[in-house]
C-alpha cells in the first residue's frame, strides 16, 4: 500500500513539474552571430528617456485650458521630430516593458519564478552591444541590464529603494534625482579626462529611468493633479537635459533623443493587464537620423485620438514596443540585440534608401539567425524520425500551377472559393445554406467538360445532390415521429441490397460464397432492424415498454456494425457497400422519421463522387482509365510519391469539408440539444440514462460522418498515388467546439475509415488466391 502511495505521489510531482518544464521554460536561445549595418550610422550617441507609467493620452492630450502638459515634447512633435504610439504587450509591468524597449523581445514566461523582477536567462540588449552605457534611475530596473552585459561597460547610478515610497509626499523627487545626477555627471566629466574620453566615443547610450509618474499614478491615480504635474516636471527636466547635451557636444548634430514609456496605467492606478490605457504608450524621437515632422491633411486610424489630441495634421507613426530596440541600434550603428524580435520602423529614419535597405536586411538576418539556432537545438533534442522540416516542394508547385492559369480564370476560381467558404461558415447558423451549396454542386458537371464525357455519372451527381439538398430544409425541432419513413428507408436499402447481391452472383470468383454470405447476413440484419423499430413503436404505444428481445437485437446490431464489414472483400465497391449496410442497420434503430433516408442518399452521392472524381483525373491526364471494381483498399499506397497539386485539389478538399458539415447539420443542429429527440434511442433503452443516451445520439451523428470519411479513403487510393505521371452564446461556443473538434476528430475517423476499408477478417479456412 505504501508503495502505491509513493508511486502515486511521484507521478503527481512529475505532472506538476512537467507544466513548468513545458510552459515556463525560457524561449530564448544563444549562439547567434551578431548582425549590424555596415554603413556609417547617423548618430554617435543616443539618449533614452523612459517615463515609467506614462499613458499616451496623458502626454499628448491638452488640458482644460487647451494647453499641453508637456509643451517641450509637443514642440518637438510639431517642429523637430517624429511621433506615434508604442503598443506594448501584457504583462504591462516595468521589467518586461524595459526588456522590450532595450532588448527587443517580449515577456520571458520563465520569469514568473523570479516574480518578474529580473530575467532568469541572460539576454543581449542595446546596452550590451553599445561601447558604453550610463544609466540613472530605479534599483529595480537598472541592475538587470548591467548583470547581463558582457564586460564592464554598463554603468548604473541608482537611488536607495526606500525612496520608492507610494506614501511619500512628493514622488517627483525620484525624477529630480535623476536629472540632477545626470547634470552632475557631465560637470564632473569636464574635470576627468578618462571619463571625458569615454563620453566622446561613438556608439554610446545614456539611459534616464523616470519613476515619479508611475509612483504618483499608483498613489493618487492618473487623473490626479500629482500625476499630471509630474508630467510637467518631466517635460521640464527633459528640456534641460537636451539643452545640456547640445551645449556639451557643441551642437554637433550627432545625438539622437528617444522619449517613451514602459507601460501605461488604468484609471484606478494599476497596470499589468491589457487595457488600452495600459498598452498605449507615447513615442517621440528627434535628433540625428530622425525624420522631421510631416504635415498631412488627413490620416486613417481606427481611433479618434488624433482629433482628441489635436494632432491630426502631424503624421503619426505607430510601432510595437519591441520595434524601438532595432530603431535605436540602427541609429548608433551597433549590432542588433541577438534576441530581438523587433522590426525596424524605417519610417522614422531620415537617411538614404541604401541605409534603410541595409538596415532592414540586417534586421531580417538577425531574426533568421535565431530561427536557425532554435531549429538546430530542436533537431539535436528530437529523435531523427520525429524531426521532419516542412517542405515547401508542394506549395511552390501549387503556386507555380496557379500562375499558369489566365488571370480571368484565376480571379473566377478565387471568387468561387471565397463564396464557397462564406456559404460553409453561414451554414453553421443557417442550415438552408447547405441547400444552396448542394444546389450549386448539382450544376458543377454542366459547367465543365464532365457532361460530355460521362453523362450518366453527371446526371447521377446532379440528382443525388438535389435530393440531399432537401434534408437541410426539413424541420429539426417539434416534428412528430413517422415510422413509415423509417420503414421506407429500410425497404430502399433492401432493394439496393438485392441489386448488389444479384450482381455478385453473376461473378464467378472463388471467394463468392463467403462474400455472398456476409452480404446476406447484413440484409437479414437490416430486416431485423426494421422489425425492431416497428415492434418497439407498437409496444410503446400500447405502453408495454421495450421488449427485451428487441433490446438485445439492437445492442447486438450496434456492437457488430464495425466488425461485420471487416469480413467483406477489400474491393472498393464491396467494402463501401458492406459498411453502408452495417451502419444503416444501426441508423434505422436510431431513427424516428425522415432522417433515416439521409445516410442512404449521402452514400449514393459519395459513390457518385468517387466515380466523377476519377473522370476529372482522366480528363486532366493525371490518371489512366481504371475500373473501380479493380481497386482494392488493401493495396499499399506509397504516400511519398506525390503528384503536383492543382486547383482541383483545392476543390476536392472543399467538397470533403462541405460534405462533413452536411453530415453534421444535414438532419439537425448538433450545436443545440433541442435538435435531439429521446425517442431516437427507444430501441436500445427507455430508462433515463443521460450518458448512455447521449452516447447513442452522438453515434447517430457520427454515422454519416464515417460514411463520408470512408468515401474519402477511396479517393486516397487514386487521388494521392502517382500513376506515372448554446442559445446565442451557447450556440456560438458549440460552433467553436465543433470546428476545433472536427480537425482533431478527423485524425481518429481517418484511422477508423482506414480500419473499416483495408482490414479483413475471415470466418474460417485459409485464404484462396484468385485473379481479378
Q: What is the pLDDT of residue 764?
A: 60
**CATH of the structural domain 42-351, one choice from 3.40.720.10, 2.60.40.10, 3.40.1010.10, 3.30.450.20:** 3.40.720.10
**Hey, is 85 helix, strand or coil?**
strand
Query: Nearest to residue 545, comparing CAs of 682, 696, 743?
Result: 682
Which ranges constitute the DSSP H helices of 469-543?
Answer: 483-505, 512-541
Q: What is the pLDDT of residue 22?
A: 62
Cβ contacts of residue 645 below 8 Å, gap of 6+?
394, 397, 398, 401
Q: Are strands 154-158 and 132-137 parallel, antiparallel or unpaired?
A: parallel
Q: Any idea which residue has 482533431 for its cell?
A: 744
Q: What is the pLDDT of residue 253?
A: 96
Angular region, 614: left φ>0, alpha ψ -120 to 50, beta rest: alpha
Q: What is the pLDDT of residue 730?
A: 41
Concatenate the DSSP letters of all residues of 320-386 into one string: EGGGHHHHHHHHHTPPPPTT------GGGB-S-HHHHHHHHHHHHHHHHHHHHHHHHHHHHTS-GGG
Angular region, 632: left φ>0, alpha ψ -120 to 50, beta rest: beta
Q: Average pLDDT for consecutive 10-residue bins of the chain (772 residues)?
A: 63 63 71 89 98 97 94 97 95 89 81 54 87 94 76 90 75 95 96 95 97 93 95 97 97 97 94 91 98 93 93 96 97 95 96 96 95 88 73 65 73 82 83 90 86 87 93 77 90 90 67 74 92 91 89 92 84 85 92 90 91 77 55 52 62 86 76 61 84 85 85 59 34 45 59 73 55 38
371, with CB counted inside 10 A (0-12, 13-18, 19+), is exposed
Query: Nearest to residue 307, comparing CAs of 54, 59, 60?
Result: 60
Q: What is the pLDDT of residue 242?
A: 98
Cβ contacts of residue 419 below 8 Å, gap of 6+?
none
β-sheet bridge partners, residue 611: none
Query: Nearest to residue 591, comparing CAs of 431, 470, 699?
Result: 699
Q: What is the pLDDT of residue 674?
A: 47
Cα distance between residue 182 and residue 199, in whole Å: 12
Cα distance between residue 562 and residue 348, in whole Å: 66
Q: List Cα–Cα distances, 466 to 200, 434, 440, 595, in angstroms.
A: 82, 11, 9, 16
Domain ranges in the chain are 42-351, 481-637+658-721
Q: Are strands 82-87 and 132-137 parallel, antiparallel or unpaired?
A: unpaired
Q: What is the pLDDT of residue 243?
A: 97
Amino acid at each position: 500500500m505504501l508503495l502505491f502511495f509513493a508511486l502515486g505521489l511521484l507521478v503527481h510531482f512529475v505532472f506538476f513539474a512537467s507544466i513548468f518544464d513545458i510552459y515556463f521554460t525560457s524561449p530564448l536561445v544563444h549562439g547567434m552571430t551578431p548582425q549590424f549595418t555596415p554603413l556609417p550610422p547617423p548618430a554617435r550617441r543616443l539618449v533614452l528617456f523612459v517615463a515609467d507609467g506614462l499613458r499616451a493620452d496623458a502626454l499628448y492630450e491638452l488640458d482644460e485650458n487647451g494647453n499641453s502638459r508637456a509643451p517641450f515634447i509637443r514642440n518637438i512633435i510639431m517642429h523637430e521630430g517624429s511621433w506615434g504610439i508604442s503598443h506594448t504587450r501584457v504583462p504591462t509591468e516595468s521589467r518586461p516593458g524595459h526588456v522590450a524597449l532595450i532588448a527587443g523581445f517580449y515577456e520571458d514566461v520563465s520569469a514568473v519564478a523570479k516574480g518578474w523582477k529580473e530575467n532568469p536567462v541572460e539576454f543581449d540588449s542595446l546596452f550590451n552591444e553599445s561601447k558604453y552605457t550610463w544609466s540613472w534611475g530605479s534599483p529595480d530596473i537598472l541592475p538587470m541590464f548591467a548583470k547581463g552585459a558582457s564586460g564592464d561597460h554598463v554603468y548604473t547610478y541608482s537611488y536607495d529603494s526606500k525612496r520608492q515610497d507610494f506614501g511619500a509626499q512628493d514622488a517627483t523627487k525620484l525624477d529630480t534625482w535623476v536629472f540632477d545626477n545626470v547634470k552632475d555627471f557631465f560637470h564632473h566629466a569636464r574635470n576627468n579626462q578618462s571619463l571625458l574620453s569615454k563620453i566622446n566615443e561613438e556608439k554610446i547610450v545614456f539611459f534616464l529611468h523616470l519613476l515619479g509618474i508611475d509612483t504618483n499614478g499608483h498613489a493618487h491615480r492618473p487623473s490626479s493633479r500629482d500625476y499630471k504635474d509630474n508630467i510637467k516636471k518631466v517635460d521640464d527636466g527633459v528640456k534641460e537635459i537636451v539643452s545640456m547635451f547640445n551645449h556639451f557636444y557643441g551642437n554637433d548634430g550627432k545625438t539622437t533623443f528617444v522619449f517613451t514609456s514602459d507601460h501605461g496605467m488604468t484609471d484606478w492606478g494599476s497596470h499589468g493587464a491589457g487595457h488600452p490605457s495600459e498598452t498605449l504608450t507615447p513615442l517621440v524621437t528627434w535628433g540625428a537620423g530622425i525624420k522631421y515632422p510631416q504635415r498631412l491633411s488627413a490620416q486613417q486610424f481606427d481611433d479618434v485620438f488624433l482629433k482628441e489630441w489635436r494632432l491630426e495634421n502631424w503624421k503619426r507613426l505607430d510601432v510595437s514596443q519591441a520595434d524601438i530596440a532595432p530603431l535605436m541600434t540602427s541609429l548608433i550603428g551597433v549590432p542588433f540585440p541577438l534576441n530581438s524580435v523587433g522590426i525596424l520602423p524605417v519610417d522614422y529614419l531620415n537617411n538614404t534608401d541604401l541605409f534603410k535597405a541595409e538596415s532592414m536586411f540586417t534586421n531580417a538576418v538577425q531574426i533568421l539567425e535565431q530561427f536557425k539556432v532554435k531549429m538546430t537545438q530542436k533537431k539535436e533534442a528530437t529523435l531523427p524520425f520525429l524531426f521532419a522540416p516542412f517542405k515547401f516542394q508542394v506549395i511552390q508547385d501549387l503556386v507555380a500551377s496557379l500562375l499558369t492559369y489566365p488571370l480571368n480564370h484565376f480571379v473566377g476560381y478565387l471568387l468561387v472559393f471565397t463564396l464557397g467558404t462564406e456559404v460553409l461558415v453561414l451554414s453553421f447558423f443557417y442550415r438552408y445554406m447547405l441547400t444552396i451549396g448542394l444546389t450549386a454542386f448539382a450544376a458543377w458537371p454542366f459547367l465543365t467538360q464532365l457532361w460530355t464525357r460521362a453523362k450518366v455519372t453527371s446526371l447521377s451527381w446532379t440528382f443525388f445532390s438535389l435530393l440531399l439538398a432537401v434534408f437541410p430544409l426539413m424541420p429539426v425541432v417539434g416534428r412528430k415521429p413517422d415510422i413509415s419513413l423509417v420503414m421506407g428507408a429500410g425497404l430502399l436499402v433492401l432493394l439496393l441490397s438485392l441489386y448488389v447481391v444479384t450482381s455478385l452472383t453473376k461473378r464467378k470468383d472463388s471467394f463468392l460464397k463467403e462474400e455472398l454470405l456476409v452480404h446476406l447476413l447484413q440484409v437479414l440484419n437490416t430486416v431485423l432492424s426494421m422489425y425492431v423499430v416497428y415492434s418497439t413503436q407498437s409496444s410503446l404505444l400500447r405502453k408495454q415498454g421495450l421488449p427485451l428481445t428487441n433490446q438485445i437485437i439492437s445492442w447486438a446490431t450496434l456492437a457488430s456494425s464495425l466488425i461485420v464489414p471487416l469480413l467483406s472483400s477489400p474491393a472498393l465497391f464491396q467494402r463501401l457497400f458492406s459498411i453502408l449496410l452495417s451502419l444503416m442497420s444501426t441508423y434505422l434503430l436510431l431513427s424516428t422519421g425522415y432522417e433515416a433516408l439521409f445516410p442512404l442518399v449521402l452514400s449514393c452521392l459519395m459513390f457518385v463522387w468517387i466515380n466523377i472524381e476519377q473522370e476529372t483525373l482522366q480528363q486532366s491526364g493525371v490518371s489512366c482509365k481504371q475500373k473501380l471494381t479493380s481497386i482494392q483498399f488493401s493495396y499499399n499506397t506509397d504516400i511519398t510519391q506525390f503528384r503536383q497539386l492543382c486547383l482541383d485539389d483545392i476543390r476536392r478538399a472543399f467538397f470533403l469539408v462541405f460534405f462533413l458539415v452536411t453530415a453534421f447539420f444535414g438532419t439537425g443542429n448538433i450545436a443545440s440539444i433541442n435538435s435531439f429527440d429521446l425517442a431516437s434511442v427507444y430501441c436500445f433503452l427507455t430508462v433515463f440514462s443521460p450518458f448512455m443516451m447521449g452516447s447513442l445520439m452522438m453515434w447517430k451523428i457520427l454515422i454519416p460522418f464515417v460514411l463520408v470519411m470512408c468515401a474519402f479513403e477511396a479517393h486516397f487510393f487514386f487521388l494521392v498515388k502517382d500513376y506515372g505521371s448554446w442559445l446565442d452564446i451557447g450556440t456560438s461556443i458549440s460552433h467553436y467546439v465543433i470546428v476545433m473538434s472536427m480537425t482533431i476528430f478527423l485524425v481518429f475517423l481517418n484511422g477508423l475509415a482506414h480500419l473499416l476499408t483495408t482490414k479483413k477478417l475471415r470466418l474460417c479456412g485459409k485464404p484462396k488466391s484468385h485473379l481479378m
